[in-house]
Amino acid sequence: MEKNKKSLNETLVSGRDSAKKLQDLLRRRVFNDGSVSVDDLVMEILGSFSDGLLLLSSCESGELSSVPASPHVGLTCADDKIPAVNTGKKPAPTVKERRGCYKRRRTIDSRVKTSVTIEDGYAWRKYGQKMILNSNFPRCYFRCTHKHDHGCKALKQVQKLEDESNMYHITYFGHHTCPTLNTFSSSGVVLDFNASKSHHSFSNSLSTITNIQVQSSIKQEADDSMTQSTDVSDNVSSGNDGHSPPGLEWNEMLHDHLGPGHQGAPFMWFDHEDSCASTSPHDYLDMGFLNNDEFSSEFLFDEVLS
């Protein structure tokens, strides 16, 4: 109970801080150096309010105030450590039998991106994989590795796109509250989208390419974890933290791995609600235009970072 109160308090304080930053940013908008974007701050504020409301709704439903006396205390809800409510449909099962609550995830407060990799600089732990209806590939479920030691509630779902572009549809839920931005680990993440025995792993070169492509998302998420690195090249070197060749420039990496004629990197990142409200649904599903050689990486970065 105290833990949830503390969590709610931290969430609200975080939201307030983000609002202050936004206020400062708007006041000195002309002098904004681009280190923090309005969108980033709005995302943080929205995330704080969403998390806070979720915690509050948990309180109102009695989950916070009435901790069950059953030995089930160790079993938790998916996102927060609020004990599951006994619905009374079945007799209270034993610790062994009973599971936590499985509330269907809301699409609000989710961020969607499409990328050729699932790497994003954070450490994720896979906790499930599921075949989804009308999909040839399973959906993989990840939670932040620091869920327990830092209480980080960030989750992500990864699903390979149906087309043959070898791209992944990645949906993020919640925000990282773990203090450190994880580096690009040398251990490639392996996804099994084929038969259960045949693993699909990323080659070295591809993982390097993906490092390029995820930088913008890392910038966005790094704001969540108090990273204040400002420009893109900064992110490349600081984000690698010694695990990748330092000092590599965007152009060099793009040139090395994609060739001089290839300038486009298929990547998009935006709030799910925005995609529904203001743009057509195929904004991220239809990625065909990204194969166009004239689609420049500068355009991508400007779009994402603006």
Query: Among residues 165, 183, 188, 144, which one has the least CA distance to residue 265?
Result: 165
Distance CA(161)–CA(102), nearest Å, equals: 26
Q: In the bound complex, what is the minimum distance in angstroms from residue 11's beta carbon to DNA?
A: 18
Q: In the bound complex, what is the minimum distance in angstroms from residue 301's beta carbon to DNA?
A: 29
Our CB check for DNA shows the closer of 129 and 238 to be: 129
Our CB check for DNA shows the closer of 235 and 275 to be: 275
Q: In the bound complex, what is the minimum distance in angstroms from residue 224's beta carbon to DNA?
A: 19
Q: In the bound complex, what is the minimum distance in angstroms from residue 210's beta carbon to DNA?
A: 16
Our CB check for DNA shows the closer of 162 and 252 to be: 162
Interface residues toward DNA, by CB under 7 A: 75-79, 84-85, 87, 89-90, 93, 96-105, 123-134, 139, 141, 143, 145, 155, 157, 189-190, 192, 196, 199
Distance CA(18)–CA(62), nearest Å, equals: 29
The dihedral built from the CA positions of residue 110, 115, 120 and 126, taken in this order, carries a sign that is positive
Query: What residues form DSSP beta bridges with 128?
Result: 141
Our CB check for DNA shows the closer of 79 and 223 to be: 79
Q: In the bound complex, what is the minimum distance in angstroms from residue 41's beta carbon to DNA?
A: 26
Our CB check for DNA shows the closer of 127 and 289 to be: 127
Residue 153 CA, chain-centre distance (Å), reads 10
Asked if residues 225 and 180 have their Cβ atoms less than 8 Å apart, the reply is yes
Query: Among residues 75, 76, 59, 62, which one has the least CA distance to residue 12?
Result: 59
